[in-house]
Amino acid sequence: MDIAAILGAIVNEMRGIADRGMLPGYIPPLTQVDPQRFGMAVTMADGRMHVAGDADEAFSIQSISKVYALMLALETCGDPIWQRVRQEPSGTAFNSIVQLESEHGIPRNPFINAGALVIADILLTRFGAEGARARFLQFIRDRDDALPPIAFDEDMARVEYESGFRNAALANYMRTFGNIENPVDAVLKQYFLQCSVTMSCRQLAGTGRGLMRGRTAEPASRHVPTVLALMMMCGHYDGSGAFAVRVGLPGKSGVGGGILAIVPGIASIAVWSPGLNAQGNSLLGTLALEKLVRATGWSVFTPHCP
Ligand code: GLU
């Protein structure tokens, strides 16, 4: 299978599409990004990397960071975290508050904002503010030896902190149920820093190698199947069902326009197109993944190509 040729064809096709979705107006720096940008990268289990388009341009990973935060929390705090955040799809928007009242401040899953705020709180309790920041960055770096130094985009985090009233509301509300232990201010700062990390498609695909499991040389974490199952069910907010049907891979989106998708045992895929659909997921990123999966047979719901 000529993955490079498939990626090249997809990039060409995406370049010609006029409707590129909407930029997320509620995070001002993300409205400055050129919606014509499009990149894709695929890391194979044997380490081969295929890239196309703007695959080396860094973008804000935003909620893709929730995957790494969850993995770090699982590996350092273990299964007790599931007493504070559930494992169910929410069917609601990424920043929705509606379920929290009837469900006593326990978020449906770690990939909606409320759940990710609880995970940030867990990391703060475990490591303290400085430690949680350092451990989070180190955890991403440890995913891929080839990763150049990555850092928080402090300006991005500050802008989100100054205007993130909805996330502040979620954290304050959960605190009234005792499901946020640290000062809300500290939790928000940790969460926004995690979201602010910038990476390129090439780098993002590389960091997904551990999630591929199986044929990689790296020891697989026992938590990988859990994380992949949650990515499949909850990785695209209230668009998770449609993404599963169209793409058929565990994936996690971010409002920066990136998506990380995993083909278990076979490949780690990153795609970036800044315009979003109505659910806040990359419009063309989703379409490109659908096309890649159709060309390769990589959906987990169809027999894999060799
Ligand atoms: N930092 C964003 C927020 O909290 C992340 C949302 C996303 O990427 O889906 O609103």
d(CA 48, CA 9): 19
Q: Is the pLDDT of residue 73 over 60?
A: yes
191 is in an annotated binding site: yes
What pLDDT sits at residue 221? 84
d(CA 69, CA 269): 19
Q: Is the pLDDT of residue 304 over 80?
A: no
Q: Is the pLDDT of residue 176 over 50?
A: yes
Going by C-beta distance under 8 Å and a sequence separation of 6 or more, which residues neighbour residue 128?
none
Q: How confident is the model at residue 180 (pLDDT cuts 50, 70, 90)?
A: very high
Contacts for 13-20: CB closer than 8 Å, 24+ residues apart:
13/291, 14/38, 14/53, 14/273, 14/284, 14/287, 14/288, 15/53, 17/284, 17/287, 19/283, 20/273, 20/274, 20/275, 20/283, 20/284
Q: How confident is the model at residue 197 (pLDDT cuts 50, 70, 90)?
A: very high
Least confident of 63-72, 191-200, 209-218: 209-218
Mutate to test the pocket of ligand 1, among 22, 59, 63 (most ligand atoms within 8 A of CB): 63
Output the pTM of the full model: 0.96
What pLDDT sits at residue 306? 46
With a pLDDT cut of 70, the percent of the chain lying above it is 96
Q: Is the pLDDT of residue 305 over 80?
A: no
Residues 117-139: tens digit of each pLDDT = 999 999 999 999 999 999 999 99
Mutate to test the pocket of ligand 1, among 161, 196, 255, 276 (most ligand atoms within 8 A of CB): 255
The better pLDDT of the pair 26, 214 is held by: 26
161 is in an annotated binding site: no
Mean pLDDT (the chain, rounded)? 95
The answer, yes or no, to whether any atom of ligand 1 lies below 6 A from the CB of 228, is no
The answer, yes or no, to whether any atom of ligand 1 lies below 6 A from the CB of 243, is no
Residues of the chain with CATH 3.40.710.10: 3-62+198-296, 63-195
Length of the chain: 306
The answer, yes or no, to whether any atom of ligand 1 lies below 6 A from the CB of 277, is no
Q: Is the pLDDT of residue 241 over 90?
A: yes
33 is in an annotated binding site: no
- Between 3.30.200.20, 3.40.50.2300, 3.40.710.10, 1.10.3720.10, what CATH number should domain 63-195 receive? 3.40.710.10
Residue 110 sits at the vertex; the CA angle it makes with 105 and 112, to the nearest 5 degrees, is 80
d(CA 291, CA 217): 29
Residues 246-300: tens digit of each pLDDT = 999 999 999 999 999 999 999 999 999 999 999 999 999 999 999 999 999 999 9
Which of 60, 63, 200, 268 is catalytic? The answer is: 63
Average confidence (pLDDT) over 58-81: 97
d(CA 294, CA 168): 41
Which of 11, 197, 237, 240 is catalytic? The answer is: 237
Q: Is the pLDDT of residue 215 over 50?
A: no
Q: Separation of 68 CA from ligand 1 center, angstroms? A: 14
Q: Is the pLDDT of residue 217 over 70?
A: no
Q: How confident is the model at residue 302 (pLDDT cuts 50, 70, 90)?
A: confident
- Between 3.40.50.10800, 3.40.710.10, 3.30.450.20, 3.30.420.40, what CATH number should domain 3-62+198-296 receive? 3.40.710.10
Alpha-carbon distances of 62 from 29, 224, 243, 305, rounded to whole Å = 12, 21, 18, 32
Q: How confident is the model at residue 145 (pLDDT cuts 50, 70, 90)?
A: confident
**Cβ–Cβ under 8 Å, residues 283 and 19:** yes
Q: If we measure between CA atoms, which residue out of 195, 211, 208, 201 comes closest to residue 285?
A: 201
